[in-house]
Amino acid sequence: MNRSIPAPVHRRSGHWLAALFTLMTCCLPAAWAADSGFAQRPQVQAFIQKMVTQDKFDRAYLEHLFDKVEPQPAVIAAMKRPAESLPWYKYRRIFLTQQRIREGVTFWRQHHAALERAQKTYGVPPQVVTAIIGVESFYGRRMGGFPVLDTLATLGFDYPPRADFFRRQLAQFLLLARDEGIDPLQPKGSYAGAMGQGQFMPGSYRHYAVDFDGNGQRDLWNDPVDAIGSIANYLARHGWQAGGFVAERARIDGRGVEALSSGLKPSLMPTALHAAGVRLDKPLASKNLYAWVRLETAHDPEFWVTGQNFYVITRYNISALYAMAVYQLSEAIQSAYQQQARAAEVADKHAP
């Protein structure tokens, strides 16, 4: 059964593509300019053989798909300038906007029942799931315009720094399409091949997406309920602790904190943080482990103590900037949501 997904990719004519490649030869890898057919590349043929042998795909079917692949130079350009390379004070401006907060409240109100059920099922609070959807796809409105098959093939065969990873994701995408009844030529996603409202990579889609509304489909493009359940399931499976510590701004006395390990995974006892001059308004649970992050601002840096749940958010995107944006957006959405709820309660009390 073919699921309803974003509109089919409109493929460019061969004449137009040939002219484009002629103009761009100086800018593209040599393999691209010399290709007579993507499916005939030796590396692609080896990949096809592996999928035929290990996963029982039909060779003719895969060669047909790869013959339609159009390399996407824009995705490689985007991989070289990710938003996470920005300093925090610039990165923060992208996501911590009044519009994103306001629309996060609207999303929460619209999907209140699903978000509450996700919290009961997986322990992840509504504001965190909402914030991730807000950061990843602006609540489903910006899910990416790159053909996923083209993107993953481009990165898997023409982006050596991470080719192995993207070939694995390409294999997962083909398996996902077969499992879910999706035409591989149709889905669109990010410049890295992430898909849907939660921007799941194919491997994550296969292993963590859930049919949260029980309609027999796992649809992360069109079904916000499935997206909500899938994100909560992903975080829970990666160790989210219900009601657990995420992050808190710290004051620093002296320079001792610079000598502490600063990885994303919590490894420091509260006593070590305190001895290094880290000061918080609230005491930390003595038996838990923590980490710390330094964030660049336009003036003095910010220091934050982070916990297990912050680390879990970085499993979604391995970046302290990303996790902090999600956390701060979630806090802002929750505050605005509660403020609206209180205002509505007051209005009801004073209604004639």
Neighbours of 252 (CB within 10 A): 18
Among 136, 180, 258, 296, which one carries the catalytic annotation? 136
8 Å CB contact between 194 and 167? no
List beta partners, residue 294.
Answer: 303
Tokens of 94: 């992208």
> Distance between CA 239 and CA 304 in Å, rounded?
21
DSSP string over 132-183: HHHHHHTTTT----EEHHHHHHHHHHH-GGGHHHHHHHHHHHHHHHHHHT--
Q: Give the chain's count of helices (H) and strands (E).
A: 16, 6
State yes or no: is 345 an active-site residue. no
Which of 212, 206, 221, 210 minimizes the C-alpha distance to 115? Answer: 212
Task: For residue 345, give the 3-state DSSP assignment.
Answer: helix
Nearest to 151 by CA among 80, 78, 72, 77: 72
Phi-psi region of 125 (alpha: psi -120 to 50; beta: other; left: phi over 0): beta
Spatial CB neighbours of 36, under 8 Å, sequence gap ≥ 6: none
Report whether 301 contacts 295 (CB < 8 A). yes
> Sign of the C-alpha dihedral, residues 213, 217, 221, 226?
positive
Closest residue by Cα to residue 224 from 344, 338, 330, 103: 103
Residues that are catalytic: 136
